Amino acid sequence: MKLTPVGVGLLPLALASVLGTAAAASQATPEQRAAAYLASNCANCHGTQGVSIGSMPELAGLSREHIAQRMRAFRDGKRQATIMHQLAKGYTDAQIDALADHFSRLPAAR
C-alpha cells in the first residue's frame, strides 16, 4: 500500500480510534462484547458507532425499544423495507435484544 501524505496524516487518527475501541472493549462484559461482535455486521451501512454517512438511518441515540421493535417488524414482514427485511431474518429474539441494547448505548451524533 502506498501512503499519500493525506493517508499518513490520517493514520494516527485511525489508530487512536482502534485503541479507543479496544480500551472500551476490555471493560465490557462478555455479553456486551458478543453484542459488539454482532453489531459489526451492521457497520457497513449504519457506521461502527451507529452513526451512518449519507441516507442510512442512524442507530445511535435511538431507544432500545425502538430498535428492537423495528428489527422484529422487519423480520416478521410488518414493516416495508428495501433491505432490512432480508437482514433481520438472520437474527433471533435474543440477538435482536442484544443489538438493540448495544446501539441504544451509543451517543447520538447530533
Chain residues in the site for ligand HEC (CB under 6 A)? 41-42, 44-46, 56-57, 59, 62, 67, 70-71, 81-84, 87, 99
Q: Which is nearer to ligand HEC, 9 or 77 (CB)?
A: 77
Residue 4 exposure: Cα atoms within 13 Å on the Cβ side = 2
Interatomic CA distance for residues 102 and 29, integer angstroms: 12
**Distance of closest approach, residue 17 Cβ to ligand HEC, in angstroms:** 20
- C-alpha cell of 17? 480510534
**Which is nearer to ligand HEC, 59 or 106 (by Cβ)?**
59
**Amino acid, single-letter form, for residue 79:** R
